[in-house]
Amino acid sequence: MAALTRNKKNRTNSQTPPLNKRTKSSPMKKPAKSQKPPLKKQRRCIPEEKPEVSTDEEEEEEIEQSNQGDEGSESGSDFFSDSDGEEGNDDDDAELLGGDLLDGSDDEEGTLGSDLDSDSDESDIEVKSRAIDKKRKKEEKDAKDEFTMNIKEQPDEFQLPTKKELEAEARGPPDLPSLQIRIREIVRVLSNFKDLRPDGAKRTDYVDQLKADLCSCYGYNEFLIGTLIEMFPVVELMELIEAFEKKRPTSIRTNTLKTRRRDLADVLLNRGVNLDPLSKWSKVGLIVYDSQVPIGATPEYLAGFYMLQSASSFLPVMALAPQEKERVVDMAAAPGGKTTYVAALMKNTGIIYANEMKVPRLKSLCANLHRMGVTNTIVCNYDGRELSKVLGQNSVDRVLLDAPCSGTGVISKDESVKTSKSADDINKFAHLQKQLILSAIDLVDANSKTGGYIVYSTCSIMIPENEAVIDYALKKRDVKVVPCGLDFGQPGFSSFREQRFHPSVEKTRRFYPHVHNMDGFFVAKLKKMSNAMQPTETDKPVETMGKAQVSSSDDDEEAEAIEELKKPSVANGQPKRESNTKEYKNRQKFPRSKETHKGKRNTSIKSESGCGTVEEPRKQKKKRSQGKNEIAQAREEKRNAMRENAMDRPKHRK
């Protein structure tokens, strides 16, 4: 019925011939095919709507054909006739039928066109992907050809630069890319010199060239690079030097006197600090990656909840392992990171002597102690070498000695170490460290029930400052090296160059930035076995009072002889030589005995041999050490008695 009503409307309104309609509709349809394909949204909509329209129109055509019957066939034959009446009606019906057919064909062409467009899009994508793959393969091939060409241009064996080439390089600024390439080649050759060495080449030439290139490329002096080359293999040496060029991550230590690590981490995370636990070996450390606030100015820092401290500074305190209610000495305490860690482990019990020789550093030490809530520490300002005389020998349980050093393990923090340190500086530091470690050993009581330990540490990787100092202490005092209690770290050197150290030195631990991702550090732990001291040429401790008496008497005799020679004459005008000859004769007749028997005999000799001569009172001697004061005083009293007897005897004769 819908189709019949539609046909009636079209018949009444249609006045133009059907030919004109076809000619007008067809030009509109054809150019649409030559236009660009529709957009994606249109493509998606076309297949969904047009098939339904085409099916409805086909159903209408079938109804019209069934209603018209034979008229449809006649209209088909007279389709282009100009007759009136029924033929006109038939023409109108034919026009409608043709329009519907044309519309249906256009819809079908639209659906087919959309399918063709989608297929063409897929084909375009495939073409583009194939072109990209082809271009990529071509680039890879070109790169490979260029690489092989460069290899062919270079000789198979690496050759050291000639003198002329080195002179030409010295005239201009350093070419860092070429230096790095040459360093890598030299390292490759030296790592397997037996197989890769050129004919007639010497290892020393390659080593010398490597030293020169490293000095010019990384800014080290010849002494430091030469020492590092002797200590490490070339491959590990390059890893160490590269690690020194990068900064170590920032780490903080939780103050267990005021908070826990978990609570502190939660608070800092809320403040925008990105952090993680330091490692398995530390229960109080946190590593900070980045922060939106200054990590050294947060309210938690000012309240003393944590301390900015490098990871390597945790190690000496962990090796010391102080116990509660002990007496502990920190010989070089400033700025207080290790001291506050010791106080936290002791839970503010016992006594800690925090010594610092430099007065300007006492301010930071006291400030950190107050901020961290430490109450069991006494701050003192003494030279560490004299600390055993101040606090007393064998008076404490444990000693921590973080000795002053050259700082060759913290080059990433202070790059001036690359050029400022020399062999003389290393020797001076080593001499000071040997004196300090002997003083630290003298402070410790070997009979302590819980202690008797000394921990020695430096932020240096030089062997004269580390293993050589420990070997020196083993020879001068009755101590032994014990394990540090640290599960990681590399063992110390038992030999270096011509030096041979005690085998137990291997129990010490070394830490490197390229291995452990922390500053270069050395830690050694000693156990004092007895309070006895061994005399040496440089250090002559006194074991018994008898030896001290003999040595002091000999010194007194020499001093007396020198003073008597310097005196011009005696009171009675006789020359000094006569008195000396008389005393010499008396000494020959009656030889001087030991200290226990010389008092009475010397008085009798003086009284018998005196012939009216009066000796002047001797000049007051210089102050002696505390160990000899009592002996010197006793000797002075005996001399005074002898002088009085000598002066009273001539008067008695008159």
644 annotated ligand binder: no
Cβ proximity of 333 and 356 under 8 Å: yes
Give the 3-state secondary structure of 145-192: HHHHHHHHHCCCCCCCCCHHHHHHHHHCCCCHHHHHHHHHHHHHHHHC
The torsion angles phi and psi of 165, rounded to 5 degrees, stand at -65, -40
Q: Which helix (H) or strand (E) holds 287?
A: strand 285-291
Q: Report the C-alpha gap between 561 and 619 in whole angstroms.
A: 13
Dist. CA 402–CA 386, nearest whole Å: 16
Token pair in block for residue 38: 């529709």
Rounded to an integer, what distance in angstroms lies between the CA atom of residue 425 and that of residue 278?
Answer: 34
The answer to the question of whether 324 is labelled as a binding residue is: no
Question: Binding site annotation covers 414?
Answer: no
The response to whether 475 counts as a known ligand-binding position is: no
* DSSP code at position 312: G
Non-local (6+) Cβ contacts of 564 within 8 A are 576, 580
For residue 555, say whether it is annotated as part of any ligand binding site.
no
The set of catalytic residues is 459
- The reply, when asked if residue 532 is annotated as ligand binding, is no
Strand arrangement of the beta sheet that strand 273-277 belongs to: 273-277, 285-291, 250-254, 306-308
| Secondary structure (3-state) at 164 | helix
Fill in the DSSP letter of residue 532: E
Is 131 assigned to a binding site? no
Token pair for 526: 């000693």
Work out the number of other CB atoms within 10 angstroms of the CB of residue 502.
16
Q: How far is CA 332 from CA 51, 125, 154, 348, 352, in A?
A: 93, 73, 57, 20, 12
Q: Is 273 exposed, middle or buried (0-12, 13-18, 19+ CB in 10 A)?
A: buried
335 is in an annotated binding site: yes
Task: Give the chain's radius of gyration (CA, Å).
Answer: 52
Cα separation of 33 and 54, whole Å? Answer: 18
Is the separation of the CB atoms in 251 and 278 below 8 Å? yes
User: Quick one: which of 86, 139, 626 has its CA closest to 389?
Assistant: 626
Query: Which residues are documented as binding site for S-adenosyl-L-methionine?
Result: 332-338, 356, 383, 402
Query: Which residues are documented as binding site?
Result: 332-338, 356, 383, 402
